[in-house]
Each structure stands twice: as C-alpha cells, then as structure tokens.
Amino acid sequence: MAQQADEKSTASTGLNLRDVFLIAVILGLLIPASIISYLSFNIQKDNLTTQLETDQRRLLDIVALGMQEPLWNLSRQAGNPLIASVMEDPRVISIRVTDTQSNQVFLSAVRSERRIGSVSYVEKPVIYRGEAIGQVTMEFDNENLAIALSNQVKNILMILAAQLVLSIMLIMSILHSRFLSPMKLLTEQARLLAELKLDSPFEWSRRDELGRLGTHLEWTRSELKRLVDELRAKTLALEADIARRREVEDALRRSENKYRELFWSNLDGIVISSLDGQVIDANPAFLNLMCYSLDQLKQQNFWSLVAEESEALERFNLDNKVLRFGYCDEFEATYLNRFDNQVPVSVKTVAMRDAFAASTRCGAWCAIFPRSARPRSGCSWRPRCSRTPSRAS
C-alpha cells in the first residue's frame, strides 16, 4: 500500500526529488551565467569595435603624415617604405594616395585576398603647410572583428559549459551525501512504518535536522511497536474471552433449553416474578390453575393474585426467610384466579441468585399446586418456578 502511494505521488508530480534538484541547479547556474555572458559579450564587442576604429584612425593618421614630404616633393621612392610597412597589418586591404593638383594616384597598394567579409573605408586629406596637397584613402577588412567576436563567443560557451558541469558535479555530490541519500533512507523507513514492519530499529547518528527527524522516526517506531504488541495481546485475550463466553453461552443455552422443557412440562404451577410483583413468566399448569393466558397474567401484579388473608404470610416468608436463609418451608395460602374465585394452594419458596449480575441478586422459587393435590408425606418435592426480585441483596 505504501509503495502504491509513492508510485501515485511520483506519477502525479512527474519528477522525483533528484530530478527537481538537478533542474534547479542547472537553471540556477545557467540563467545568471547566460545573462552575465551576454553582457560580457556586448561589452567585449563594443571594446573590439572601438579598438578597430582607433587602429584605423591611427594608421590613417600615420599614412597622412608620412605622405606630406613625398607628395610635396613628388617622390614615390620616399613614400613606398611607409606604404609597405602599413600594408603589413592584415586588416588593411588597400591604400591609395591621390595628388590633389593633378587628380592622379600618387601611390597605391592592394591586397585583394584580404577582402573576406565586410569592409570599411576611411579617408583623410594630406595637409602640408596649411594646404591640402592630397587625399589618403584606406580600405579595411572587418571580418577580423567578426572572427574575434566568434572566438569570444566560443570561449564564453566553453567556460560556461565547464562551469556548469563542475558546479553540477560539486553541488549534486554534496546534495547526494547530505540530503538525497538521507531522504531516501527516511522514505524507506517511513514505508516500513506504513507496512508495520517494526522489528528492525532505525539507527541515526547525524546531528543535523535530518538526523533529528530520523531520531523522531525511531521513537515513533518504538512506540508504534509497543502499541501494536499491546493491541495484539489484547486481541488474543479478547479472542480467548470471546471463545470462552461462547462456550459459556452454549452451555447456558443448553441448560436453558432443558430448564424450559422441565418448566413447560411440569405438572406443578410455576410462576416467575420480581420482588415488586412484576410477573415475568409462568408455566401452563399455573396458567390453567389461575385461568389466565400468559399475556393476561403479565399485565397483573403478582400480589393481586394473593388473597388478602394470605398476603401478610406471603410477605413475611419472603422477607424473613427466603431473603435471609434462601428458602422457606411449605406453607398454605389462598390465591385468586381470573374470576376472583379463591384457589387454596400450597407454596414453597426458594431464593434464586443471578450469577451474571454486577452485584448478587436474589429471588424466590415458589412451587404452587392445589392444596388437594399437595404431595403426601415422604414424597420428594423439587421447586420448579422462580420469582426473581429486581433489588440487590
């Protein structure tokens, strides 16, 4: 059941704890690193662009200043070394120096193979003694800037990947040893608790929060084991008590069946009533003697069946003999049947006790038969009816 609950929980979320931590670490590292790398790339791009523009102006100024004397003196040999020196820069594609007066090219140099991608043109007049005597035009290749930026991107990506891998390895190793592994152990122990497998103790030596949680889990296991053992012992005792009660009930039921057979087949009149006179039961012999049905008799009070001249003797024997000694000797009395006719009877009362009551209860066991049918001297007589009182002795 506990395993099914874990599977349902995992299926509902779709991710386990390790995957959640891994995603959190990757996002936590990748997002800030990506933002920082993007900003760094833009800054580096601006720096490289500014550096390229500065180098272009510097080279243009060098050529413009170096061409003053050669262009003024119209000496190409004096300007060629400068042009050759500047053309050694791989970013320079071509240089052209034009004479303003003749509007002709004074010096030029071209390296067409350097024209790879986009190009840029810069130009500046050649000033000599405050007069423009020529024009310098330079063509630069901008692909070197793109290559440098591409290399910069590759370096940033490599650094980012290395940082991400090393950070994930370090963080996940720490998380595995200090969190994920203890959480897995706690989950397994919780499953054992849910399945009531409580024999093996949970040992925890850590002093952090997870260690305290494991210690509390061990305390829960020990208390739950104690309660389960107590419940099992009580269950076994209850089952034994139920079995014993069933045996007693079966024996009582058999005894009651025998008693009912004797009760209903006895020729002597038998009536059962409480001490306050409530009629509980009577056998057919008594019902025929008193001319009542059982339902009619239960609606009568027992003392209403006793004639007035016999009630005092009946109560005296009940209070002073039956309740004190447990029985009384046979005595004669007069009862009134349903038609208010007097019926002379002989009565003998014996006390009864309820063995299953919370306190001992007692009652009167009365044998009633017509006086003319009274047993002769020497005949054995056994009481077969009871009048059970409702008060404690």
| Tokens (6 digits) for 80 | 């060629």
Over residues 44-79, the pLDDT tens digits come to 888 888 888 888 889 888 888 888 888 778 788 888
Beta-strand (E) ranges in the chain? Answer: 92-99, 104-110, 119-128, 131-141, 269-273, 279-282, 331-336, 342-354, 361-370
Could you tell me which of 273, 334, 275 has the C-alpha nearest to residue 300?
273
Helix axes 181-194 and 209-265, enclosed angle (nearest 10)? 0
Question: Angle at the Cα of 309 (from 306 to 314), degrees rounded to 5?
Answer: 55
The whole-number pLDDT of residue 353 equals 62
Provide the token pair at 45. 């791009």
Question: Which residue from 46, 178, 73 is spatially nearest to 134, judged by alpha carbons?
Answer: 73
Residue whose C-alpha is closest to residue 136's, from 194, 215, 68:
68
324-357 pLDDT, tens digit per residue, is: 887 888 888 899 999 989 889 888 777 766 544 4
Q: Residue 243 — φ and ψ, nearest 5°?
A: -60, -40
CB-neighbour burial class of residue 53 (10 A; exposed 0-12, middle 13-18, buried 19+) = middle
* pLDDT computed for residue 147 by the predictor: 82
Reading the block at residue 9, the tokens are 């929980």
Q: Tell me the one-letter amino acid at 333.
A: A
The one-letter code for the residue type at 18 is R
Rounded Cα–Cα distance for residues 345 and 373 (Å): 9
Q: Which two tokens stand for residue 81?
A: 């070394």
pLDDT at 52: 82
Could you give all domains of the chain from N- to C-terminal order, each with its CATH number? 17-110+118-149 (3.30.450), 266-370 (3.30.450.20)
End-to-end CA distance of the chain: 57
Q: What is the tens place of the pLDDT at every residue in 129-148?
A: 888 888 899 888 888 778 88
- Residue the block writes with tokens 């350097």: 114
pLDDT at 237: 93
Run means of pLDDT, 10 residues per run, the chain, 393 residues: 50 69 82 85 85 86 86 81 88 88 85 84 87 88 82 86 86 82 83 82 80 83 87 92 92 83 81 81 87 90 89 88 82 90 84 50 52 43 38 38
Cα–Cα–Cα angle for 264, 265, 271, rounded to 5 degrees: 45
pLDDT at 246: 92
Contact between 283 and 261 under an 8 Å Cβ cutoff? The reply is no
Q: How far is CA 260 from the centre of its chain?
A: 59
Q: What is the pLDDT of residue 12?
A: 52
